[in-house]
A and B are shown apart, each in its own frame.
Chain A
Amino acid sequence: MTNSSSTEWPLWEVFIRGQHGLAHRHVGSLHAPDAEMAVNNARDVYTRRNEGVSIWVVKALDIVASAPGEKGPLFEPANSKVYRHPTFFDIPDEIGHM
């Protein structure tokens, strides 16, 4: 194949829902010229072993991601706030295992 970057198809991210009731999960990416073919290609590439009941595709360019460099300010403040986990309640014995 002799694709230059200007003629190469855009990259799509693929999300598959494995079962009814579960959320769509990111499974990988692929190239396709448009959304319809991206769904077809996703069906052929990612659901060959009966993995899915629903497919979402989204152009990789349309995904806005957090910057790795901002990891500190974004996520570290949560490290020290254990009280945000619901671990400070006494569960009555009658409730049993939660």
Chain B
Amino acid sequence: MTTSSSQSLRFEFALRMGDNALILAQRLGAWCGHAPILEEDIAMANVALDLLGQTKLWLAYAAELEGEGRTADDLAFLREGRAFRNALLVEQANGDYADTLMRQFLFDAWHLPMLEALQGSSDPRVAEIAQKSVKEAAYHLDRSTDLVIRLGDGSEESRAKMQRALDDLWAFAGELTTPDATDKALAEAGIAPDLADIARRWSAHAEQTLADATLTPPKDAAVRKGGKAGLHSEGFGFLLAEMQHLQRAHPGAAW
């Protein structure tokens, strides 16, 4: 592999990791002040802030790799929708709290094994960022697993809401663990793990948790993907408009 293609491969990967964290943080941030109870409100905002911290590390590395003088902020606030590389799952609307928790659970169950594996990346910067993020992801997964079980195996109403959320979101989970050409090149270079290994860990955890939660994943659902290639869902433009409007209206504004 030539240096420049290795650089662009790493850049692509840093964007994928950073954009997943950024877009999910943006979605979660919208709950601040609106969650069902105070304690959840604070907990959810904490998760959002953890993810935003991770975003800064990934996007700062992406900006360095790109070498065109852009910063992490430029990448977050001045990129067009098609240039974002997050999976479709994380941009799905907050819906009700069941939707938000299910989305979080499906993401966390991928995020933790991914970061654990990335600690052994052949790219020292990637390994370093993964080491810094892995404990946060472990707590996120503990929390979302616990809540999915409590609400799934809860009242009739909470179970129905969680099952509906699972039915709606399940198809989006596969994108995170389905490799494309970039993922395969990353695995060959030892930068990122083979996604088949992550898929196995993801499935094992998700199946056990959903069984404990008395929830049933839809059978034979097609995998909805596109985000990793920059093809996002309809609501994504609105999300970006809200996230980016200040920097676009007042370029360079700082506080």
Contact = CB atoms under 8 A, between A and B. Distances in A.
A pairs with B: yes
B39 A44 contact: yes
B251 interface: no
Interface residues of B, number: 11
A31 B39 contact: yes
B168 interface: no
B36 interface: yes
Interface in A48-69: 48
Contact of A45 (B42, B142, B146, B150): B42
A40 B37 contact: no
A44 B142 CA distance: 13
What size tier do the contact residues of chain A reach? 10 to 19
A1 B39 CA distance: 13
A44 B146 contact: no
A1 B42 contact: no
Interface in B132-178: 142-143, 146, 150
B8 to A, nearest CB: 38
A40 B42 contact: no
B37 A37 contact: no
B204 interface: no
Given A36-B146, A37-B146, A44 B42 contact: yes
Contacts of B150: 33, 37
Contacts of A40: 43, 142-143, 146
A45 B38 CA distance: 9
A1 B36 contact: yes
Interface string A9-49: 10000000000000000000011110011001100110010
19 contacts: A1-B36, A1-B37, A30-B39, A31-B37, A31-B39, A36-B146, A37-B146, A37-B150, A40-B43, A40-B142, A40-B146, A41-B39, A41-B43, A44-B42, A44-B43, A45-B38, A45-B39, A45-B42, A45-B43
**Which 9 interchain pairs have the tightest Cβ spacing?**
A44-B43, A41-B39, A45-B42, A44-B46, A44-B42, A30-B39, A45-B39, A1-B36, A31-B39
